[in-house]
Amino acid sequence: MENEGNDKELEKSVKVSKDVSTSIVMRGLDDLAFLVEHTPAEFFVQKGNACYKSEDYHQAIIYFRQAIKLDLQNAEAQFMMGVMYDNGQGVARDYVEAVKWYREAAEQGLAVAQYNLGMMYQHGSGVPLDYFETLRWYLIAAEQGYTGAQSNLGVMYHNGEGIPQDYAEAVKWTRKAAEQGHAIAQYNLGEMYHYGHGVTLDYTEAAKWYRKAAEQGYAHAQCNLGLMYKNGQNVPQDVPRGPHQISLWERYADGKGIPQDYAEAVKWFRMAAAQGYAEAQYNMGVMYRDGEGVSQDYAEAAKWFRKAAEQGDANAERMAAIASWFDENKWYSPSNPEMQSYADAMSDHFIRTTGKRGKELLDYVRQEVEKRFPEKFAHQIHLFDNEWLRRR
């Protein structure tokens, strides 16, 4: 039995060795096949890209340098040299050197290099901040259809960043990128429809573009879509249309609006919150606090408020404290919802007048609520839940 087992192990070992040898041979044949149809410089670019993808940056930069030695006009290798100096991958980070290589590639027409060079000018990295140069390189890349440049051009025109504000141009460039599936541009186009910047205000269109970005995992869009469903975004009561007026119900009947849907709101808030987006985490707290789209659960509300507070949201910090107390005092909100609004108002007043939070805030709110609703406090002998304070 042992000999049989040993023979099997030997057979297995030989098979593995043969497989490895075959793999090496096949890779060599693949390389030869590539060289038949490509230049040696292109071969080294391919090898460099493979190393870069596997995070072997030291070897990648050797390959890219070799490609440039063989072909001084190899834009892809020049671009990758720029990327590696920009990020400090395989070399010490050097923005000046990154700009040099981006420019080499950009001047040969490589759109992604033109875009990156525009970003370097926009942020003043390796070159003086220069909006004219930013705009110039973004335009060159955008006219080649590069979506990142189109999207950034839209933002510059929308915000008037270094150029006169122009909503029409902002919409034009943002739409070009959005229609090619660029998530940030889709979100930005949604905002333009949401607020009527350069287009007629249209909540249906806003939701359409938010959804496209949200389905790609863009947290900002997920949160905004959630807010639209939470609030039920409809068009204004009366919208001019020539000499006539069109009513809200007529516009809504035509699908010009978003119905209120708490479950759908929670769905999108949760997606964004899971990515660490503070505003969505705060809104998850609100939904659990108010029992909208989910069962009312103050402990869960406090959890989400704390997550937002940990990212610096001072209002979420206050809400986490109050939600913790609601969870401790189970009789509180269901038996008298007015108390929740009163507690919120007292919290806002205390923070506004004293600037204090923490235990002093909690004690003050408890004291004021107890004064306003003494019958509900008659059987209470404990103070606010201080566990939140200890965790802070």
pLDDT category of residue 72 using cuts at 50, 70 and 90: very high
Interatomic CA distance for residues 95 and 125, integer angstroms: 6
Domain boundary among 108, 123, 144: 144
Interatomic CA distance for residues 371 and 379, integer angstroms: 14
Classify residue 193: in a domain, yes or no: no
Classify residue 268: in a domain, yes or no: no
- Quick: pLDDT tens for 269-309: 999 999 999 999 999 999 998 899 999 888 898 899 999 98
- Of how many residues is the chain composed? 392
Instruction: Examine the pLDDT at 251 and tell me if it is beyond 50.
Output: no
Interatomic CA distance for residues 316 and 364, integer angstroms: 18
Q: Which residues of 88-107 are buried (b: 16+ CB within 10 A; e: fewer)?
A: ebbeeeebebbbebbbbbbe
323's CB contacts (< 8 A; 6+ apart) are 285, 289, 298, 299, 301, 302, 305
Mean pLDDT for the chain overall: 80
Among 24-38, 91-105, 191-205, 293-307, the minimum mean pLDDT is found in: 24-38
Domain boundary among 144, 174, 209: 144
- How many independent structural domains does the chain possess? 2
Interatomic CA distance for residues 137 and 267, integer angstroms: 40
Q: Is 392 exposed, middle or buried (0-12, 13-18, 19+ CB in 10 A)?
A: middle
Residue 109 belongs to a domain with what CATH number?
Answer: 1.25.40.10
Domain boundary among 103, 127, 144: 144
Determine the pLDDT at residue 37. 65
Question: Domain containing 387: what range?
Answer: 297-391
Classify residue 196: in a domain, yes or no: no
Average confidence (pLDDT) over 159-171: 96
DSSP for residue 88: T
Cβ–Cβ under 8 Å, residues 48 and 80: yes
pLDDT category of residue 321 using cuts at 50, 70 and 90: confident
Classify residue 203: in a domain, yes or no: no
Classify residue 285: in a domain, yes or no: no
Determine the pLDDT at residue 371. 75
77's CB contacts (< 8 A; 6+ apart) are 41, 44, 45, 48, 64, 65, 67, 68, 71
Classify residue 191: in a domain, yes or no: no
Between 290 and 372, the more confident residue is 290
Instruction: Examine the pLDDT at 347 and tell me if it is beyond 70.
Output: yes
Instruction: Examine the pLDDT at 123 and tell me if it is beyond 70.
Output: yes
Six-digit token string for 206? 């806003």
Interatomic CA distance for residues 62 and 81, integer angstroms: 10
Classify residue 63: in a domain, yes or no: yes
Q: Torsion angle of alpha carbons 239, 245, 249, 251, nearest 10°?
A: -50
Classify residue 274: in a domain, yes or no: no
| pTM (predicted TM-score) | 0.72
Cα dist from 199 to 6, 37, 151, 168, 281, whole Å: 77, 50, 17, 8, 31
The helix-helix angle for 183-195 and 203-214 (nearest 10°) equals 160
pLDDT category of residue 315 using cuts at 50, 70 and 90: confident
Average confidence (pLDDT) over 187-212: 96
Provide long-range contacts, Cβ within 8 A and 24+ apart, for 120-123: 120/95, 122/152
